[in-house]
């Protein structure tokens, strides 16, 4: 993977990560999707330390930590942080190259450099994506740029086969030449999802992404909005910036929920769908319980963790603000077949007027059609 210094055990390795979920709680595809071979995702330098971002080490921990110290000369200071579904290792060394003996193989690791200057002082959208339409990605960024002041986009592309990360990045840079566009080639298994027992313990990759983004790219960003391409954030009490609110917040971050946007549309199914084709909510909006967050990295202490739906181990992590809300689009996604279905507008559907106004400010209707009334 270009731009990452990773360590993945070969298929034939006798050493593999232990399986953590009891057999009786595994869905049929659990073992197929479980990541047993990724030792660490990346190694990069931060000051005098090398930082390794990894999945949970479990049974690999003792041997790997010993191997890293040996590779650094045997007496290097090492710090280890176990987090939910991800791990972080910090090794104090001036070495510019490590020969890491582990699992019966020796891996040459040349540490990457941190990309702090790229995002320093920027208001960054952070997202994970697989095969999302580049137009959807562009629309999402344009919406948050015009309504909230986003001026940088950091995407972790997880095994897309519709385009390469380089091709996607080129499209976005061409569309937004004045802003920072970065696509990370992240070719690791997503992991096993919760399954029928809703046991969320084995989806390592998305947690590794957030840990990696935090410490390699975004430590000096002004603020970061974490979410998905099918989610647009609105100010519920006027045209306010979610980034500004996070920067000024009591705890250095804000957390907010939202509601679903119906798959109702008048657009012809033969035409490519866009966010602005979907502006209706049910008479009683369908609320979802998976919040997202916006944070100022420089105000978040190291012992906390950036998670999908919270900033864990931080004061204020249970406080959700009503001042911002997500509009979650049922019909905009690349990985859920059941969300590819649209339906006609029904009599009890109503237009989400705040969403329409925000889309109009972003100029999205001008590219497609007139705004609904």
Task: For 349-363, write each residue's pLDDT tens digit.
Answer: 999 999 999 999 999
- The Cα 92–Cα 184 span in angstroms is 26
Nearest CA to 99 out of 54, 162, 43 is that of 43
Closest by CA to 334, choosing from 137, 92, 106, is: 137
- Cα angle 235, 237, 240 (rounded to 5 degrees) comes to 45
Residue-wise burial string across 305-339, b where 16 or more C-beta atoms lie within 10 A, e elsewhere: bbbbebbeebebbeeebeebbbbbbbbbbbeeeee
Q: How far is CA 160 from the centre of its chain?
A: 15
| Average pLDDT, integer, range 312-332 | 92
Label residue 285 exposed, middle or buried (CB < 10 Å: 0-12, 13-18, 19+).
middle
Please write the tens of the pLDDT for every residue from 54-95.
Answer: 999 999 999 999 999 999 988 899 999 999 999 999 999 999
For residue range 98-124, list pLDDT tens digits in order.
Answer: 999 999 999 999 999 999 999 999 999
Nearest alpha carbon to residue 216 among 289, 123, 118, 303: 118
Q: Residue 89 — φ and ψ, nearest 5°?
A: -120, 135
Residue 178 neighbours by CB distance under 10 Å: 6
Give the model's pLDDT for residue 201: 98
Strands (DSSP E) contained in 74-122 are 78-83, 86-92, 98-102, 105-109, 112-113
User: Which residue in this structure is represented by tokens 């979920």?
Assistant: 21
Q: What is the pTM of this model?
A: 0.95
DSSP 281: E
Q: At what angle do helices 134-148 and 165-175 cross, to 10 degrees?
A: 40
Share of the chain above pLDDT 70, in %: 95
Using the predicted structure, report yes or no on whether residue 373 has a pLDDT greater than 70: no
Cβ atoms of 226 and 306 closer than 8 Å: yes
368 confidence band (pLDDT: 50, 70, 90): low
Buried b (16+ CB within 10 A) or exposed e, 70-84: bbbeeebebebeebb
Q: Which of 49-58, 116-125, 204-213, 332-341 has the lowest mean pLDDT?
A: 332-341
Residue 346 pLDDT > 70, yes or no? yes
Percent of the residues in the chain that have a pLDDT greater than 90, as a whole number: 84
Average pLDDT, the chain: 93
Q: Is 197 left (phi over 0), alpha (psi -120 to 50) or beta?
A: alpha
**Whole-number pLDDT of residue 337:** 60
């Amino acid at each position: 993977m270009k731009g990452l210094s990773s360590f993945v055990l070969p298929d034939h390795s006798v050493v593999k990560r232990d399986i953590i979920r009891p057999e009786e709680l595994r869905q049929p595809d659990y073992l197929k999707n479980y990541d047993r071979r990724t030792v660490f995702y990346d190694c990069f330098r931060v000051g005098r330390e090398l930082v390794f971002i990894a999945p949970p080490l479990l049974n690999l921990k003792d041997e790997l930590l010993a191997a890293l110290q040996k590779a650094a000369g045997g007496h290097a200071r090492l710090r280890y942080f176990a987090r939910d579904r991800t791990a972080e290792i910090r090794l104090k060394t001036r070495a510019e190259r490590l020969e890491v003996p582990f699992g019966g193989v020796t891996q040459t690791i040349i540490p990457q450099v941190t990309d702090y200057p790229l995002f320093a002082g920027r208001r960054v959208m952070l997202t994970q994506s697989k095969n999302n339409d580049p137009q959807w990605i562009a629309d999402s960024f344009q919406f948050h740029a015009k309504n909230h002041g986003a001026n940088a986009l950091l995407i972790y592309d997880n095994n897309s086969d519709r385009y390469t990360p380089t091709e996607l990045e080129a499209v976005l840079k061409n569309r937004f030449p004045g802003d920072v566009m970065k696509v990370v080639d992240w070719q690791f298994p997503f992991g096993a999802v919760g399954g029928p027992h809703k046991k969320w313990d084995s989806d390592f990759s998305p947690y590794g992404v957030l840990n990696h983004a935090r410490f390699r790219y975004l430590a000096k960003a002004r603020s970061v909005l974490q979410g998905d391409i099918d989610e647009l954030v609105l100010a519920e009490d006027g045209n306010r910036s979610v980034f500004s609110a996070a920067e000024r917040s009591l705890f250095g971050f804000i957390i907010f929920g939202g509601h679903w946007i119906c798959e109702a549309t008048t657009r012809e199914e033969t035409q490519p769908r866009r966010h602005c084709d979907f502006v209706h909510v049910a008479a009683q909006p369908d609320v979802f319980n998976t919040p997202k967050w916006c944070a100022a990295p420089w105000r978040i202490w190291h012992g906390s963790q950036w998670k999908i739906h919270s900033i864990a181990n931080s004061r204020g992590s249970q406080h959700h603000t009503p001042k911002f809300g997500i509009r979650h689009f049922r019909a905009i996604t690349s990985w859920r077949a059941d969300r590819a279905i649209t339906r006609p507008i029904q009599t009890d559907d109503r237009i989400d007027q705040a969403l329409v106004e925000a889309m109009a400010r972003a100029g999205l209707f001008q590219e497609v059609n007139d705004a609904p009334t």
